[in-house]
């Protein structure tokens, strides 16, 4: 009540409450007067109604404006936008790394019904250190997705992204503040899932971010020639093409909420992101692959723009798709979204030094998989050769709106929502 009283002098709540009360009184008096003096009663009643409605509208607008000062005069438009987001398609995105967070930044502008299912196999950098020192699941990829979906003040998002300088004598060097926050919250609550939920509240996330499993898993790469490499951060040391990847333990259980989201989805999107270290590891978690295959929603794979040195050297779009099918089974993908825009020569030269090249689209091979190919200009070339978040989001929304299975599911959901 004290917090409400503080608003009184700024909002003139007493004055407008008095106007509202007088309006109600005049309305009642006017209705009573109609029986013996109908003209004065009608006038009194109309004046009362106008005063009541006008004062109520003013109070509501002032209170909303006071509670949401950042939106200023645009508060109505903001509320309308949020209402539209609530009715947006239910999209589940599976992956990890920079690619997933890039996609989420675009999709959150079209729907609030987003669920990101994120890999927890990372064992390098700040995440790897926290995993070893604190025994928590790696928070890095999850943090990236939380920040991408954040609807909070930009300063809060920047805080979660802040990385302490290397060589810091306190031992914080190289650590990311967001990683430390999630790890600390996990230690306090004793539950990594709860730590992610609390972090989501702090950042006012649009949608949900879920780890694919709560089990402590290790990614294993089986290389051509029989060599086996353990750990996500060492996958690039295969030196030859990766034949397949697996998880230890093999029976890592999927998060129940993740399976529920998949079953309820209007569309399921895989990637973009590192093929063997971000996308496929989620499919190896017990229950995830089966839930996706069982779903009636369209399954869309967003293929990477560039190959990844040490992981997908020389891979074409069909090679990416084939790797997913080898791990998940035939009929796993309905659509493949590929980039058709050309990488600028200077940017291509820069990447070639690192051993990365544009992913070629071999259409004939892709068609043999029975997959619909969607080619669009999807690349952002500001500083890096990567996907443009808004272009990819618009392409996915178009696919979802045109897909028959998705249309049927959405029609049912919207009818239930409107009841």
Residue 342 belongs to domain with CATH number:
3.40.50.10680
Judge if 15 and 99 occupy the same domain: no
Q: Which domain holds residue 30?
A: 2-67
More confident residue, 63 or 136: 136
Across the range 164-190, mean pLDDT stands at 84
When the pLDDT of each residue in the chain is averaged and rounded to a whole number, the result is 87
Judge if 37 and 99 occupy the same domain: no
Number of structural domains the chain divides into: 2
Instruction: Kindly state whether residue 362 falls inside one of the protein's structural domains.
Output: yes
Instruction: Kindly state whether residue 87 falls inside one of the protein's structural domains.
Output: yes
Judge if 12 and 95 occupy the same domain: no
Alpha carbons within 13 angstroms on the beta-carbon side of residue 268 total 28
Instruction: Kindly state whether residue 199 falls inside one of the protein's structural domains.
Output: no
Q: Which of 42-51, 101-110, 349-358, 388-397 has the lowest mean pLDDT?
A: 42-51
Q: For residue 38, what pLDDT band results from cuts at 50, 70 and 90?
A: confident
Q: For residue 84, what pLDDT band results from cuts at 50, 70 and 90?
A: confident
Give the model confidence (pLDDT) of 66-83 as tens digits.
655 555 556 556 555 666
Residue 254 CA: distances (Å) to CA of 119, 182, 250, 257, 288: 11, 20, 12, 9, 6
pLDDT at 7: 43
Judge if 24 and 94 occupy the same domain: no
Most confident of 42-46, 69-73, 231-235, 358-362: 358-362
Angle between helices 177-189 and 125-134 (to 10 degrees): 20
- Cα 235 from Cα 231, distance rounded (Å): 7
pLDDT at 391: 96
pLDDT at 195: 94
Tokens 């109609």 correspond to: 34
Judge if 7 and 89 occupy the same domain: no
Give the model confidence (pLDDT) of 332-343 as tens digits.
999 999 999 998
Give the burial class of 156: count Cβ atoms within 10 A of its Cβ; 0-12 exposed, 13-18 middle, 19 or more buried: middle
pLDDT at 393: 97
Collect all residues with Cβ–Cβ distance below 8 Å to 281 and sequence separation of at least 6.
96, 119, 121, 212, 217, 219, 232, 245, 247
- Cα 408 from Cα 297, distance rounded (Å): 10
Most confident of 40-44, 235-239, 244-248, 379-383: 244-248
Judge if 314 and 358 occupy the same domain: yes
Across the range 239-247, mean pLDDT stands at 93
Instruction: Kindly state whether residue 366 falls inside one of the protein's structural domains.
Output: yes
- Cα 135 from Cα 207, distance rounded (Å): 27
Judge if 354 and 252 occupy the same domain: yes
What is the chain's length?
419
Judge if 19 and 45 occupy the same domain: yes
pLDDT at 16: 79
pLDDT above 70 (res 361): yes
Judge if 279 and 332 occupy the same domain: yes
* Closest among 88, 97, 104 to 269, alpha carbons compared: 104
Instruction: Kindly state whether residue 172 falls inside one of the protein's structural domains.
Output: no
Tokens representing 279 are: 């996308």
Judge if 405 and 317 occupy the same domain: yes
More confident residue, 174 or 390: 390
Judge if 19 and 91 occupy the same domain: no
Q: For residue 3, what pLDDT band results from cuts at 50, 70 and 90?
A: very low
Long-range contacts of 225-228 (CB under 8 A, 24+ apart): none
* Closest among 297, 285, 101 to 211, alpha carbons compared: 285
Across the range 177-189, mean pLDDT stands at 92
pLDDT above 70 (res 417): no
Residue 292 CA: distances (Å) to CA of 108, 115, 142, 250, 328: 22, 14, 21, 19, 10
Helix (H) or strand (E) holding 242: strand 242-248
Instruction: Kindly state whether residue 72 falls inside one of the protein's structural domains.
Output: no
Instruction: Kindly state whether residue 135 falls inside one of the protein's structural domains.
Output: no
Give the model confidence (pLDDT) of 110-134 as tens digits.
999 999 999 999 998 899 999 988 9
Judge if 336 and 286 occupy the same domain: yes
Across the range 182-201, mean pLDDT stands at 92
Instruction: Kindly state whether residue 88 falls inside one of the protein's structural domains.
Output: yes
User: By 3-state DSSP, what share of the chain in percent is helix, strand and coil, each rounded to 5?
Assistant: 55, 15, 30
* Closest among 250, 339, 258 to 295, alpha carbons compared: 258
Contact 248, 220 (CB under 8 A): yes
More confident residue, 39 or 288: 288
pLDDT at 4: 45
pLDDT at 396: 97
- Cα 351 from Cα 221, distance rounded (Å): 25
**What is the sign of the dihedral through the CA atoms of 357, 361, 365 and 367?**
positive
**Percent of the chain beyond pLDDT 90?**
58
pLDDT at 155: 81
Across the range 201-206, mean pLDDT stands at 89
Tokens representing 363 are: 């259409």
């Amino acid at each position: 009540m004290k917090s409400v009283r503080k608003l009184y002098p700024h909002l003139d709540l007493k004055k407008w409450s008095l106007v509202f009360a007088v309006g109600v009184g005049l309305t009642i008096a006017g209705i009573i007067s109609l029986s013996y003096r109908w003209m004065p009663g009608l006038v009194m009643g109309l004046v009362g109604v106008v005063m009541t409605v006008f004062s109520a509208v003013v109070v509501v607008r002032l209170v909303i404006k006071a509670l949401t000062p950042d939106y200023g005069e645009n508060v109505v438009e903001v509320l309308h936008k949020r209402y539209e987001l609530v009715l947006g398609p239910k999209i589940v995105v599976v992956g990890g790394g920079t690619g997933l967070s890039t996609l989420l930044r675009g999709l959150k502008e079209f729907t609030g019904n987003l669920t990101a299912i994120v890999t927890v196999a990372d064992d390098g950098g700040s995440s790897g250190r926290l995993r070893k020192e604190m025994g928590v699941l790696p928070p890095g990829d999850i943090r990236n997705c939380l920040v991408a979906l954040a609807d909070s003040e930009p300063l809060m998002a920047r805080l979660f992204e802040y990385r302490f300088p290397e060589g810091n004598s306190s031992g914080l060097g190289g650590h990311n503040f967001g990683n430390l926050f999630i790890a600390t919250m996990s230690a306090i609550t004793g539950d990594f899932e709860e730590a992610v939920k609390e972090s989501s509240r702090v950042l006012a996330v649009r949608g949900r971010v879920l780890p694919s499993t709560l089990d402590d898993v290790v990614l294993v790469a089986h290389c051509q020639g029989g060599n086996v490499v353990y750990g996500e951060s060492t996958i690039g040391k295969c030196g030859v093409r990766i034949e397949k990847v697996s998880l230890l333990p093999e029976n890592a259980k999927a998060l129940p909420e993740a399976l529920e989201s998949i079953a309820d989805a209007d569309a399921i999107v895989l990637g973009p992101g590192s093929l063997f270290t971000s996308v496929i590891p989620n499919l190896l978690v017990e229950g995830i692959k089966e839930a996706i295959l069982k779903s009636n929603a369209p399954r869309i794979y967003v293929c990477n723009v560039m190959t990844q040195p040490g992981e997908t050297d020389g891979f074409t779009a069909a090679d990416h798709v084939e790797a997913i099918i080898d791990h998940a089974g035939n009929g796993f993908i309905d659509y493949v979204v590929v980039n058709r825009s050309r990488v600028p020569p200077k940017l291509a030269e820069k990447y070639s030094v690192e051993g990365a090249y544009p992913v070629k689209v071999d259409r004939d091979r892709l068609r043999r998989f029975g997959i619909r190919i969607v080619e669009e200009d999807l690349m952002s070339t500001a500083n890096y050769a990567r996907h443009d978040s808004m272009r990819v989001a618009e392409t996915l929304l178009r696919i979802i709106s045109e897909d028959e299975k998705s249309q049927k599911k959405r029609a049912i959901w919207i009818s239930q929502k409107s009841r």
